[in-house]
Structure 1
């Protein structure tokens, strides 16, 4: 399983070099917001920008997709992961170009312990929105779950390169660096 995930991640990384953003991910407001995210050192301002990015990522022109996303998120928050997965399955079936649908489905797969599926869905989300720092952070969590700290560190560093205000991700990356430095001695 570990080798397979590594191959999938390598494929995803290569595909990111040329993947265009589509659908809501192509929203013109995002470029400015990502610039603001990198340009601020104010944590409160950064959180407001992050929230706006998430709001844009969650936007969708089809009401049924919006309804299914809400249902899926509510199920995730209530620890009903199988029900969340079913909602997100319906989302990506209705719009396979909706990056946030894939990211949320990856979350459900991860919480169910379906790591190969989570990586596949993260790859799809990143192919559609290469700046999806949430998907990259999620990839880091998958790597931690399968005890691949080097892969987790790469994913966390990639997320932080896009959004340097992810304190939890930064703490995880620091912890991994310290563990790796300690094991190298």
Structure 2
């Protein structure tokens, strides 16, 4: 168990360093830059619509064939057919290795299959391509929390907040992790 936690800490540290070093310099598209800029300035009421637009932009690969693979993977994920989802996602990431959303859904599917190490690797690939991918960061929070790395998970929550200040999940995560961090301190 200690080896697993050590590897998780190393992976989490590498991801945090990667995120911090790349910052918001990389951009998938001009539209995303504009949407993320607006996300910083809107009220909570308008943030949900902007989040939906960002998620829509993330799902655009620029190829009808790749978009179809992504759609088929989402359908399989919703049906909890992880094997089929991974077949579509492997084809997608093999042929479109610079498509961040393909890696993000790969991370989700691997996590749901209980394959934490490979899920972390897919999160790292996602964040290398799109450092502002708050959904990938949410996945990292859950992995760190499940591993008992509450302080590290809380640090990632703060990263999410810096990207998407009105994310609905923030207050739940922040409150839950603060209690766990205080429990560890006792």
Asked if Structure 1 and Structure 2 have the same fold, meaning a TM-score greater than 0.5 normalized by the shorter chain, the answer is yes
Question: How far is 1:160 from its partner?
Answer: 1.6
Distance (whole Å) between structure 1 residues aligned to residue 50 and residue 29 of structure 2? 15
The offset of 1:114, in angstroms, is 0.6
Q: In the alignment, is residue 8 of structure 1 matched against residue 11 of structure 2?
A: yes
Aligned to 2:97: 96
Q: Which structure 2 segments of 5+ residues have no match?
A: none
CA contact (8 A) 2:144 2:152 kept: yes
TM-score, structure 1 length as denominator? 0.91
Residues 56-93 of structure 1, C-alpha deviations (whole Å, 9 max, x = no match): 11001222211110011111111112221221111100
Q: Which residue of 1 aligns with 2:133?
A: 132
- Counterpart secondary structure, 1:26: coil
1:5 deviates by 1.9
Return the alpha-carbon distance in structure 2 between the equivalents of residues 153 and 165 of structure 1.
16
> What's the secondary structure of 2:132's corresponding residue?
coil
> Structure 1, unaligned stretches of length 5 or more?
none
Pair 1:160–1:68, CA change in 2 (3 A):
same
Report if aligned partners of 2:107, 2:122 keep a CA contact under 8 Å in 1: yes
1:18 aligned to which of 12, 16, 22: 22
Partners of 1:37 and 1:165 in 2: how far apart?
Answer: 8
Q: In the TM superposition, what are the counterparts of 1:27-176 in structure 2 within 5 Å?
A: 27-43=29-45, 45-176=46-177
Shift of 1:155: 1.7
CA distance in 2, matches of 1:14, 1:180: 22
RMSD, aligned CA: 1.6
Counterpart CA distance in 2 for 1:179 and 1:6 is 17
How far off its partner does 1:30 sit?
1.2
